[in-house]
Amino acid sequence: MQSDFFILCNEYGIGHSVDIENDNIPVDYYGPSADIERVKELGLCNGFRIWIDPDEEKLSRAQKGGYGMMIDFWIMEGRMELFAKKKGLGLKKYIDKTIDLMMDYMKKYGNKVWWNIWPEADNPGNVSYWPKEFATRKASYEFLKDHLATDKYCKNRTQKDVSQYDPYVGFKKPAFQYLKERGIKPEDLNISALTCGVSTCHHFFDWGASLVQQEANVGFSNVQVSIAFLRGAAHQYNGSWGLDFAPWKAPTIYPAIYDEEGRRLGGVSESLLLREWLAAFISGANYIGEQLSDVIHWVKDKAGNKSLSPLGRAAKDFADFALKRYPNRGKTYVPAALMLEKYHGWDCPRPFMQGTCMGRMPYEKKDEMIQSFFSYAFPDYENRDRYYTQKWAPKGSFKNQSPWMSAEVKTNRDRMIAFREKLKEGLDTRPYEKGELVDSTWGDSFDVVLENAPVEVLKQYPALILLGGVKLGNDLRKTIKQYVETGGKLMLGITQVEKEDEELIGVELTGEKLESSQSLCFTCGRRYNEDAYDYQLVKPVNATILARTEYDRKTGADGDPLITKNSVGKGEVFFCSVPFGIGKNQKTHAGLLEIMKDTLDHFLSPLMLVEIEGEEIEYIVNLTDYGKMVTLINNSEKEWNGKIRVKDVNRWDTARDLWNDKFILEYAFENKAITIRLNIAPWEFGILGIGKF
């Protein structure tokens, strides 16, 4: 089930002044209700988020005019008791009445109304109640599922057992069990789950969600990696996906709020959020939310008059583009799927979860392979620093000392105040926001699927790469064989196959283990000095050798096969004899072998519709009714100068700058491709239409 695309502005936010860590500088959050009519008049969104206490007045007011709604309900039982008491109802009657109201709206308006039933359920701050050790990763997933869907672990839990942020403290029954006891089928509801990492994206669909969204910024996953998991999971389970952007990321707990003079006091930059919204929209998100947008989109002057903040103006520009000018964004071109184990446990590295899976389990070699692949596909994607834990470097000896730090900054409160003062002076925070969006080696061109994905889903991807601990068991072997025989292009490795797979890979597995530190690619002729690596000796039967260990210069003997290619039906199979494609002595996250990077380039490059000449840059390709839409995002402090070559176009196609609504007059057409020279300023982007735009 696919939802209509909608972007959201919260209707009901925090709703009061806050005193952060006794800062004595309270921040006015403008009251509990934003000016919804004005938001609609300005066209800032086509949907609203209803926070915590939905009722008929809120829902009807937000929905009027055909707007979508994301409803957060079932957060904390104590809080619901307060709302019930305020309305003169008992807790059960209040819950039943609210659920009935949401169901009525879902029946009437379909997939424009969603119930976020699992808010941040996998937040690392919430997993402190998990047992310290699980026998298997599968067991950790099963524990989380039981915790969310049954009362098995809820009956006797207290605040002492869990993080203060756990939304399930005190609940006698999770919402899923409550629905079951009422005879309501979850599949009859438009259920959303809000994740904090990528390890659970597919599983929330498996457990009953129809839309899975993930929180972005605040130290969570890189946006591009999040999109690969979310979009792949939605594709595999025929669901919808989205991103919920948090406006926090700074050495202060303030979000991106503004003072009376329009100066930002915290949070992330307008530039980062705009680039993130665009990346999500162009990549096909069904839902884009922004926390506290009822607050951070506005500036209130001394007289109490509200006007759009710099972030609000950026939101209007984005909404005008996405909702009015180019709502037909087409379909994102995703040439390759990445397949992981069903219970892989891998998550995007975070400052507070380095080298662990599920927040507990140390990385194994299979996890290093996944991380190393993403490190090559999205360079520096793991380099996301929340940067509010920095300490003063004695005598300024640390390189790149943050400008808000000094010897007088000693406590968290000191850091908050110092940072805020620098913001008032005009501090540019964009250089400190790296890692949320990064360059892309082959564009944002991947979806992540799990090993239980049906072959009909896999067939929609021209290429498939097996990562991590996936092994070709009986069922997967049949699926993979069918995928390749019908034209699929497969890459896999020695740890993922058995003797039964020799026909598929076209080589004989001898079992003999050897070691080398050099490699040679026959496709391009490049030689590499590698870190020491293990490999298994294989003997080609039908396969062609693409890369070897380099020949012995003393004896002249040929090197052993490392990479081979075998034709199977209409498809082909690339095979690597190096376990996980990484070195034997590498420390965690050291990266793929050079010959693996080389082979991935040869494997993927023919599938790319855009070629980049110049420095790497993030890019996304969409196929529309009018032609190809190519989005380039410069996430760097340097101007990007280069050329893009867009393949498979017609001589009479034109090139248009869609964001600025003007034709590009200088471009070259040759061999069914258009080449355009571009300059993209630091932290800016370009959206091009090639065709009949």
Task: Band the pLDDT of 461: cuts 50, 70, 90.
Answer: very high
Both tokens of 352, joined, read: 């507070």
| One-letter identity of residue 411 | T
Does 94 score more than 50 pLDDT?
yes
pLDDT in tens, 242-291: 999 988 765 666 788 888 889 998 889 999 999 999 999 999 999 999 98
Q: Position of tokens 């119930």?
A: 115
Q: Which structural domain range is residue 477 located in?
A: 446-607
Q: With beta carbons less than 8 A apart as the criterion, state whether 349 and 357 touch.
A: no
pLDDT band at 26 (very low <50, low <70, confident <90, very high): very low
Q: Is the pLDDT of residue 33 over 80?
A: no
pLDDT of residue 41: 92
Q: CB under 8 Å to 638, separation ≥6 — which residues?
A: 615, 682
Inter-residue contact 289 to 116 (CB < 8 Å): no
User: Is there a domain that residue 1 lies in?
Assistant: no
Q: How large is the average pLDDT for residues 85-108? A: 93
Tokens standing for 385?
Answer: 């620093």
Q: Report, as an integer, the average pLDDT of 111-117.
A: 93
Length of the chain equals 693
Packed helices 310-319 and 270-282: angle between N→C axes, nearest 10 degrees? 20
Same structural domain for residues 399 and 424? yes
Residues 574 and 645 placed together within one structural domain of the fold: no
Mean pLDDT value of segment 653-659: 95
Same domain, 274 and 134: yes
Compare 402 and 269 and report the one with higher pLDDT.
269
* Strand duo 463-466 + 685-691: pairing: unpaired
pLDDT at 658: 97
Together in a domain, 581 and 668:
no
Helix (H, G, I), strand (E, B) or coil at 521: strand
Residues 128, 86: one domain?
yes
Residues 6+ apart with CB under 8 A from 178: 95
CA distance 336 to 334: 6
| Strand-strand pairing, 240-245 and 211-216 | parallel
Which segments within 234-390 are labelled E, that is strand? 240-245, 287-290, 298-300, 306-308, 331-332, 336-340, 356-357, 361-362
More reliable by pLDDT, 665 or 270:
270
Q: In CATH, what number is assigned to the domain containing residue 626?
A: 2.60.40.1180
Residue 563: inside a domain, yes or no?
A: yes
Look at residue 430 and tell me whether its pLDDT is greater than 80.
Answer: yes
Classify residue 59: in a domain, yes or no.
Answer: yes
pLDDT tens per residue, range 533-564: 999 999 999 999 999 998 766 665 689 999 99
Distance in angstroms (rounded) separating the CA atoms of residues 346 and 363 = 8
pLDDT of residue 390: 60
3-class DSSP state of 35: coil
Residue 342 has pLDDT above 70, yes or no: yes
Residues 408 and 466 in one domain: no
Residue 182 sits in the same domain as residue 273:
yes
Of 661 and 26, more confident: 661
Q: Are residues 319 and 458 in the same domain?
A: no
Last residue of a domain, one of 566, 592, 607: 607
Q: Token pair of 641, please?
A: 């100068």
- Residues 637, 505 share a domain: no
Please state which of the ranges 273-282, 288-297, 572-581, 637-646 shows the lowest mean pLDDT.
288-297
Two tokens at 148? 């969310």
Q: Take residue 562 and report the two structure tokens written for it.
A: 């490392």
- Picking from 302, 218, 216, 221, the residue whose alpha carbon sits closest to that of residue 266 is 218
Round the CA-based radius of gyration of the chain to a whole number and report it: 26
pLDDT of res. 167: 46
CA pair distance 680, 678, nearest whole angstrom: 6
Q: Establish if 362 belongs to a structural domain.
A: no
CATH number at residue 313: 3.20.20
Inter-axis angle of helices 223-237 and 270-282, to 10 degrees? 30
Q: How high is the pLDDT of residue 136?
A: 86
CATH code of the domain containing 504: 3.40.50.880
Instruction: Tell me if residue 611 falls in helix, strand or coil.
Output: strand
Say if 229 falls within a structural domain: yes
**What's the rounded Cα separation, in Å, for the pair 519 and 596?**
10
Q: Which pLDDT score, from 0 to 100, does residue 2 have? A: 44
Full DSSP string of 439-485: --BTBS-EEEEETT--HHHHTTSSEEEE-TT----HHHHHHHHHHHH
Q: Are 299 and 309 in contact (CB under 8 A)?
A: yes
d(CA 656, CA 275): 20
What phi, psi does 268 have (nearest 5°)? -95, 165
Q: How confident is the model at residue 35 (pLDDT cuts 50, 70, 90)?
A: confident
- Kindly tell me if the per-residue pLDDT of 573 is higher than 90: yes
Please report whether residue 440 resides in a domain.
Answer: no
Please tell me the distance from the alpha carbon of residue 562 to that of residue 494, in angstroms, as a whole number: 10
Per-residue confidence band for 156, with pLDDT thresholds at 50, 70 and 90: low
Between helices 77-86 and 91-109, what is the axis angle to 10°?
90
The model's pLDDT over 491-544, given as tens digits with 9 standing for 90+, comes to 999 999 999 999 999 999 999 999 999 999 999 999 999 989 999 999 999 999
Above 90 in pLDDT, residue 133?
no
Q: Which of 292, 312, 330 is the last residue of a domain?
A: 330
388 in any annotated domain = no
Percentage of the chain modeled with pLDDT above 90: 61
pLDDT at 409: 81
| Poorest-pLDDT segment among 193-197, 579-583, 645-649 | 193-197
Is the pLDDT higher at 349 or at 182? Answer: 182
**Cα angle 21-27-28, degrees, rounded to a multiple of 5:** 145
Task: Say if residue 116 is in the same domain as residue 215.
Answer: yes
Non-local CB neighbours of 135 within 8 Å, separated by 6+ positions: none
pLDDT exceeds cutoff 60 at 162: no
Query: pLDDT band at residue 625, thresholds of 50, 70 and 90?
Result: very high
Mean pLDDT, residues 414-421 taken together: 84
Query: What is the largest distance, in Å, between two alpha-carbon atoms of the chain?
Result: 91
Residue 376 in any domain: the answer is: no
Q: Using 50, 70 and 90 to split pLDDT, how confident is the model at 144? A: confident
Mean pLDDT, the chain, integer: 86
The rounded distance, in Å, linking the Cα atoms of 287 and 281 is: 8
- The residue among 302, 330, 358 that closes a domain is 330
Q: In terms of domains, do 123 and 253 share one?
A: yes
Whether the Cβ atoms of residue 69 and residue 112 lie closer than 8 Å to each other: yes
Tell me the average pLDDT across 298-320: 92
Number of domains the chain is built from: 4
What pLDDT is attached to residue 218?
Answer: 78
More confident residue, 350 or 389: 350
Residue 206 has pLDDT above 60, yes or no: yes
Q: Domain check: are 57 and 151 in the same one?
A: yes
